[in-house]
Amino acid sequence: MSTADISSMNYWYPRIKDLGVPTPKTEIPVTKNFWTWIEILDDKDPLSEEEKQQIRDAAIIVGGYPVFMRTDLCSGKHDYDRTCFVKDERALIRQIYALVENNAMHDLIFESLAIREYIEPAFEFKAFNGLPIAPERRYFVRDGEVVCRHPYWPEDSIHFWENYRNAPEDWKSRLAEMNMQTGIEVMRLTEWSEIIARELDGEWSIDYMLGRSAGWTMIDMAEAHKSFHPECEAWSGRRR
């Protein structure tokens, strides 16, 4: 991995995928130099027909449509309907181009395209550009141990764009209920987080989402210093 970015899925996914922690089926069908990918921004097509077929095949391998699509660094989920949520094969290649553009606009030096099994979120409403807002959690780990945990969606992080400006009147109360952490949930996600943390040195964030039928699923992780972290005495107080 030439980027030497350990937040890349190319680094962490192979290390955690067989640990017994639920995570979406994932295929990484195409890896290229970043500068080749962004030729898309100059109206060039960096994908050969063979590579496009590998991507289509990956969608079938993970379970068929819809699929969740991302680069090794980012899904562009706030632009959900244009980027990461691919409802059918007709949309697949078009949304790759939108995903590449989204990553490039955020100065992310990615290399790979990942096709993932779609886990339907247990969402209560949609925000941003069609993103389902479901219960999500972010656990912070350091040297094999959980230091703290937080709901992923604080109230001030939610925005309604374009077709989703008409927010449900009770969205704040729905969100507050989704952000309540139960004892069973905490016990399970703590156990999973420590299993993952024992495989990876240093400080990490680990993200989980509640699926409507799949239950809690580990969906992403990154180096802790690259992840949003609310004010937290547990984390800052133990920083070396």
**pLDDT score of 3:** 44
Token digits for 229? 């972290």
99 and 150 part of one domain: no
Distance CA 13, CA 85 (A): 20
**pLDDT score of 62:** 98
102 and 147 part of one domain: no
Q: Cβ(202)–Cβ(142) under 8 Å?
A: yes
166 and 189 part of one domain: yes
213 and 146 part of one domain: yes
On average, the pLDDT of the chain sits at 93
Distance CA 175, CA 151 (A): 10
**pLDDT score of 165:** 65
Examine residue 13 and state whether it is found in any structural domain, yes or no: no
Token digits for 158? 């939610």
Number of structural domains (the chain) is 2
130 and 151 part of one domain: yes
Residue where a domain stops, chosen among 98, 117, 136: 117
Q: How many residues can be counted in the chain?
A: 240
Q: Cβ(203)–Cβ(140) under 8 Å?
A: yes
**pLDDT score of 234:** 83
Examine residue 30 and state whether it is found in any structural domain, yes or no: yes
113 and 130 part of one domain: no
132 and 217 part of one domain: yes
159 and 193 part of one domain: yes
Residue where a domain stops, chosen among 66, 91, 117: 117
42 and 81 part of one domain: yes
**pLDDT score of 2:** 43
139 and 204 part of one domain: yes
| φ, ψ for residue 226, nearest 5 deg | -100, 5
Low-confidence ranges of the chain (pLDDT < 70): 1-4, 162-165, 237-240
Of the candidates 61, 3, 4, 6, the residue with the CA atom closest to the CA atom of residue 28: 61
135 and 227 part of one domain: yes
Domain that holds residue 53: 25-117
**pLDDT score of 238:** 54
**pLDDT score of 237:** 60
166 and 131 part of one domain: yes
Residue where a domain stops, chosen among 66, 90, 117: 117
CATH number at residue 135: 3.30.470
Examine residue 62 and state whether it is found in any structural domain, yes or no: yes
